[in-house]
Amino acid sequence: MCVFGLLAGCSVRSIATGALADTFAAQGDAYGRDDDPELVRQAVPFALKTMEQVLEAQPRHVGLLTALARGFTQYGYAFIQQEADQLADHDVVRAKEVEGRARRMYLRARDYGLGGIAIDHPDFRAAFSSGSAEARTRALAAMRKEDVPLLYWTAAPWALAVASGKDNMKLVGELPAIEQLMARALELDESWGSGALHEFYVSYDGSRSAAEGGGPERAKAHLDRALGLAENKRLSPLVSYAESVAVTAQDRKEFTRLLDLVTAADLEKSPPDRLANLVAQRRARWLLSRVADLFVE
């Protein structure tokens, strides 16, 4: 009788954690409409740690793994990375510490993404740790449209980790794997995430020369597509273009024009994007305050 009671308890607990995992996985960006970034900044860590606890009971829940990859990426970039970037102007030591914390968030997100992909594609992780481009290509050939969210939420934090650790040659050496992940996602569903894939390439191509496969023309094409897919409701593509292409080209006029558009935007035109657009406006104002540092007279 006691044994059956224990089994029943495990069953109820499993059902409960399964339902909770489904809730976390299905909630999408539950904070997206919020108009108080600081409130969200304080709330998100608790939510992420709760999700990690639920994952211990549901380790093969793909939706929850996706939500964790997404959550740690967004939290790391929107709050920790932004703080590190702003600290760099006056406290380099502290900025390095905070940037290191952001990088750890990105790598945690990357690992959750890889774990999520491996649920349905068991050989995937081995292929991506082999160092072989051919092995990665074969593994990516098995990916389907439904895998695109995990491909993105694996590649995006991985790329952010590289960007925040350019002195880490091991991380920098992993860039080809990131390129393959994102290219495959774009190939499978270029419209996913209302232009999120194209926005990635705004920054990525904007940081590379035409000879390297990037350049301003390619970045501008991705910008136009990202804005079109987002129906011009998202401000972050404009910030990405200003920060990558305009600064690289030393086009101060275009830089200020784009960021002025961002700071003047009416956030109530797209309530679901309110928080992301608030974060974009914050970064735009900070970038505008650094014009003298970013452009040579």
Tokens of 13: 């607990």
Distance separating alpha carbons of residues 151 and 147, to the nearest angstrom: 6
Residue 26: predicted pLDDT:
57
Residue 125: predicted pLDDT:
87
Percent of the chain at pLDDT exceeding 90 = 67
DSSP at 233: -
Place of tokens 């909630």: 27
DSSP at 173: T
Of the pLDDT bands very low, low, confident and very high (cuts 50, 70, 90), residue 29 is low
**In this predicted model, what pLDDT tens digit does every residue of 175-229 receive, in sequence order?**
999 999 999 999 999 999 999 999 999 999 988 888 888 899 999 999 999 999 9
**In this predicted model, what pLDDT tens digit does every residue of 165-179 receive, in sequence order?**
778 888 888 999 999
* pLDDT at 15 exceeding the cut of 80: no
pTM to 2 decimal places: 0.89
* pLDDT at 18 exceeding the cut of 90: no
Which of 140, 216, 131 is closest to 174 using CA atoms? 131
Query: How many CB atoms sit inside 10 A of residue 60's CB?
Result: 13
DSSP at 152: H
**Are 243 and 290 in contact, with CB atoms under 8 Å apart?**
no
Angle at 144 between CA 231 and CA 58, to 5 degrees: 95
* pLDDT at 1 exceeding the cut of 50: no
Which of 105, 139, 108 is closest to 125 using CA atoms? 139
Residue 212: predicted pLDDT:
84
Percent of the chain at pLDDT exceeding 70 = 89
Of the pLDDT bands very low, low, confident and very high (cuts 50, 70, 90), residue 4 is very low
**In this predicted model, what pLDDT tens digit does every residue of 80-124 receive, in sequence order?**
999 999 999 899 999 999 999 999 999 999 999 999 999 999 999
